[in-house]
Structure 1
Amino acid sequence: MTVLEGTVLAGRSFDPITGRVVVEDGRIAAVEEGETDSTDIILPAFVNAHTHLGDSVAKEAAVGLGLEAAVAPPDSRKHRRLAAASHDELVTAMRRTLQFVRRTGTVTCLDFRESGVEGARALREAAAPLEVDPFIFGSDDPAVLEVADGFGASGANDDDFTEQRAAARTADVPFAIHAGEPDASDIDPALAYDPELLVHMVHAEADHLERVRDRSIPVAVCPRANTVLDVGTPPIRELLDHTTVALGTDNVMLNPPSMLQEMAYTAKHHDVTEREVLRMATTAGAEVAGLDCGVVEAGRPAALTVVDGDSDNLVGTADPIRAVVRRATALDVTNVLV
């Protein structure tokens, strides 16, 4: 049995309670109110709703480049670096990134893995010795679904994904697709695939938002990456008013995959509350992938992040949710329980 004491951000509303979380056999046995001297803040571990971990072989290689030159298939700087990397180099680089991901409080990434079956297997190999379990959206050949957890399409203007969409439906796994990143031209054709997840939607217009709401399609947003690539600002407030919105960090080559940094940026640059941002970084991503985590309550798997509320950085912050969302850094994370 493991007992964590402090301020617990409990339930789907993250109500701060003073007390403890009791963990038995890998699950939360109880969340109990009570006195404690601990200044720790206990919250759900983060779920990063959109990554490209393969970019770990090309960190900061796209400085000064726009979207097409940086990441667009097949001839961007990113794809040239991926093609040049050996299997061992790729696995090692992704493993190092996953180690960073866990240290910063994240237990899973919803990753768009390039290079088909071989790429998905490389990510499985990278994650095997770690306590981080990526949810892999595979690419290219529909046969990737024998290894991956779903299919991830680059964008409806890049190729025809009819066969892959059908294969995902047959396998009963999610089909996700980038849409509305450089402009709105690929949103309607992306919606035509009836996806289980849309990524970016920076240029979503009113009719797109209505269709997303009517179909209950969740959206993963990556505001830091959108800023780096100068493609625009995602309408997060409007998206939240229409559907489930999850938070991701996007390409490792552009930004470190820290949900702490992504939350702080989102809270400070968008019309959202701290609770909404925390939900985007935990519960929403878990729901998108059908994972039973993202909430601190009895019966859930014990996927928890512990932050030192009395750290030099956080001491004096009266609101624990605000402390975590707007201010916490990797240095404040003291434990990640999986």
Structure 2
Amino acid sequence: MQLEGTILRGREFAPVEGRVVVEDGEITAVEEASIDTDQIILPAFVNAHTHIGDSIAKEAGAGLSLDELVAPPDGLKHQLLREASREELVAAMRRSLSFMERAGTGAFLEFREGGVSGVEAIEAALDGLAIEGVILGRETIDAMAAADGFGASGARDGEFGAERSATREAGKLFGIHAGERDSDDVNPALDLDPDFLVHMVHLDAIHYERLDDEGTPVVLCPRSNLVTDAGVAPARELFDRTTVALGTDNVFLNSPSMFREMEFAAKLYDVSAREVLQMATVAGAEIAGLDAGVIEPGREARLLVLDGDSDNLAGAEDVVRAVVRRAGVDDVTDVLLAN
């Protein structure tokens, strides 16, 4: 099959008129050509940090502190998850996943509560969908063994050492929250040599020095951080030091729309539209070890097509800026996800 339009090609998303040729789920060619369409073709998004189980209670907990909302084991989120039946949980997650797929997200990295049963529940929710889940189990080593890795809450001294060792031995991903409430857990998190860190809002000089030396990737969740009063991450300083990706975090706090997250990030952080699009695509793919996030021959065909002549996008003079700051779900005409 062929897709024609303005192609946002490569890591820099250089706009090229032409066609993308896809065979057996792989991009086999990107051809420059004169075309008669206003479509915009870009990589499908990679949402680099989600808690999809929160779909059971959207907009719950208004006015609560960060710890009251999400801290294990008795934060509101964990109470609601314990109270929900498996059927309720799977149905709510599936609706969020279906929305994410329709809104151009091709893959996501999930911190999945509930141990092994939680991992099994989201696998059930994913059944039959094209969106790809990289699932990180939580709470137990058994959950990690049943999943694609382990997703840890914030570390304090001595925490998660056994889980990190087991995850490393299994050759799986280890991600951890850090610097969301304060900077006290950043060094303990870095000491675990994680594959990536989530949030990194509160940082001290030593943390920048360690990132300079270690280059540990970071996932930012700007809308979530403002909702919970965590603050604003130093995105420019992080982007200059390491790989930075973008995630929507808890579904009960924010819609899992990467369009909304990109627009918010572009208007909040001191980063360019092109850098935000990298955060929403190739950066998350690299953290997750996925062959996605870039339109080039040889890559998996995980593509998003927008109507550049929609009432929202018509007349845009800077295509990348328009995609990041203006586009939305209503502009999507096609989502092609090879799996």
Decide: shared fold, TM above 0.5: yes
1:126-275 to 2 correspondence within 5 Å? 126-157=125-156, 160-275=159-274
What is the alpha-carbon distance in structure 2 between the residues aligned to residue 106 and residue 10 of structure 1?
Answer: 18
Deviation, 1:331, is: 0.2
Report the AA paired with residue 130 of structure 2: E
Match of 2:316 in 1: 317
Q: Which amino acid aligns with 2:261?
A: E
Offset, 1:158: 9.5
Q: Secondary structure at the match of 2:255?
A: coil
Displacement after TM superposition at 1:160 (Å): 2.0
What is the CA–CA distance in structure 2 between the aligned matches of 1:305 and 1:213, rounded to whole Å? 34
Identity between Structure 1 and Structure 2 (%): 58
TM-score (norm 2): 0.98
CA drift at 1:157: 3.3
Write the distance in 1 (CA, Å) between the matches of 2:157 and 2:90: 27
Within a 5 Å distance, the mapping from 1:14-25 to structure 2 comes to 14-25=13-24
- Stretches of structure 1 lacking an aligned partner (at least 5 in a row): none
Q: Provide the rounded CA distance (Å) in 1 between the counterparts of 2:327 and 2:156.
A: 39
* Alignment size in residue pairs: 337
Say if 1:159 and 1:229 are closer, same or farther in 2 by CA, change over 3 A: farther
Q: Which amino acid aligns with 2:63?
A: G
Deviates further, 16-25 or 65-74: 65-74
What does 1:15-94 align with in structure 2 at a 5 Å threshold?
15-94=14-93
Offset from partner CA, 1:270-323 (integer Å, 9 cap, x none):
100011000000000000011000000001000000111110001011111011
In structure 2, relative to structure 1, the CA distance for the partners of 1:27 and 1:174 (3 Å cut) is same
1:159, distance to aligned residue in structure 2 (A): 7.7
Distance in 2 (CA, whole Å) between partners of 1:157 and 1:62 is 26
CA contact (8 A) 1:210 1:242 kept: no
What is the CA–CA distance in structure 2 between the aligned matches of 1:12 and 1:80, rounded to whole Å? 42
The residue identity in structure 2 corresponding to 1:227 is L
Contact persistence 2:157–2:188 (CA under 8 A): no
Which residue does 1:105 correspond to in 2? 104
Deviation string for 1:253-273 (max 9, x for gaps)? Answer: 100010000000010111000
Q: Which letter does structure 1 place at the counterpart of 2:229? A: D
Match of 1:95 in 2: 94
- Where structure 2 has 5 or more consecutive residues not aligned to the other structure, the ranges are none
Q: Using the alignment, how far apart are the partners of 1:312 and 1:210 within structure 2?
A: 47
Post-superposition CA distance 1:148-206 (Å, at most 9, x none): 11100011139821111011010011111000001101111111111111000000222
After TM superposition, where is structure 1 displaced by more than 4 Å over at least 4 residues in a row?
none
**Does the C-alpha gap of structure 1 residues 231 and 158 become closer, same or farther in structure 2, counting only changes over 3 Å?**
farther
Q: In structure 2, the residue corresponding to 1:62 is in which secondary structure? A: coil
Aligned CA RMSD, in angstroms, stands at 1.0
CA distance in 2, matches of 1:307, 1:158: 47
Conserved 8 A contact 2:5-2:38: yes
Q: Tell me: CA distance 1:97–1:86, structure 2 relative to 1, closer, same or farther (3 Å).
A: same
Q: Which amino acid aligns with 1:242?
A: R
Give the Cα separation in 1 of the matches to 2:118 and 2:209: 35
SS class of match (1:23): strand
What is the CA–CA distance in structure 1 between the aligned matches of 2:24 and 2:260, rounded to whole Å? 32
The residue type equivalent to 2:194 in the other structure is P
Q: What displacement does 1:146 show? A: 2.8
**Cα displacement string for residues 66-123 of structure 1 (whole angstroms, at most 9, x for unaligned residues):** 2011111111111111000001110110000000101110011100000111101111
> Match for 1:80: what amino acid?
Q
In structure 2, give the amino acid aligned to 1:117.
V
The TM-score with structure 1 as length reference comes to 0.98
Residue identity opposite 1:143 in structure 2? D
What residue identity is the alignment partner of 2:288? Answer: A
Name 1:281's counterpart in structure 2.
Answer: 280
What is the SS of the residue equivalent to 2:132?
A: coil
